[in-house]
Amino acid sequence: MSQVLDAAITIPGETQSRVALSGTAVELLQKLWGIHGPLMFHQSGGCCDGSSPMCYPAGEFITAEADILLGLFELPGCGPVEFWMSKEQFNYWSHTHLTVDVVAGRGSGFSVEVPEGKRFLIRSRLVDGFVPASQQ
């Protein structure tokens, strides 16, 4: 699969998807879903994980008021995958569109793709003329 999968818009007042999955990410997530069941992402923006979103079995990472649901993917043949981000990180990336991609290498020990010898990575691009709902 090479087609990008855009997430459904989840931020009230916004009109553009904030996050997408590369075709390679979709394929890896489908494989991981078969192993772990329903999945979710969290992008913390902390000092240790950089631009690598963490993928967990759904519900294993507890989100809080400090997090925002950035998008909701309908993973073909599987089901919904939420993409969460810390509000602090969202403030830095508010003018960007994010694409979750996959690269070879060792990711964080807590993310479910680690045994596959791959890791998820965020690729970002500026969105021209985009005004976040929080700034309208």
Going residue by residue through the chain, which has 136 residues, state the pLDDT in tens, using 9 for 90 and above: 568 999 999 999 998 999 999 999 999 999 999 999 999 999 987 555 456 899 999 999 999 999 999 999 999 999 999 999 999 999 888 889 999 999 998 877 789 999 999 999 999 999 866 655 555 5
- Residues with Cβ within 8 Å of 113's Cβ and at least 6 positions away in sequence, in order, are 28, 32, 55, 102, 107, 119, 120
CA distance 99 to 109: 22
What pLDDT, on the 0 to 100 scale, is given for residue 69? 97
Is the separation of the CB atoms in 3 and 20 below 8 Å? no
Which pLDDT value is given to residue 111?
93
98 phi and psi angles, rounded to 5 deg: -110, 140
Task: Give the pLDDT of residue 132.
Answer: 58
Supply the mean pLDDT for the chain.
89
Predicted confidence at residue 52, as pLDDT, reads: 86
CA angle 54, 103, 2 (to 5 degrees): 100
Instruction: Residue 83: name the closest of 2, 15, 6, 136 by CA.
Output: 6
Going from the N-terminus, what domains does the chain have, and what CATH number goes with each? 5-131 (2.60.300.12)
- CB contact set of 17 (below 8 Å; sequence gap of 6+): 6, 7, 8, 9, 71, 97
Alpha-carbon gap, residue 105 to 89, rounded angstroms:
24
- Tell me what pLDDT residue 102 has: 96
Q: How far apart are CA 123 and CA 105, in angstroms?
A: 16
Residue 88 tokens, joined:
């602090």
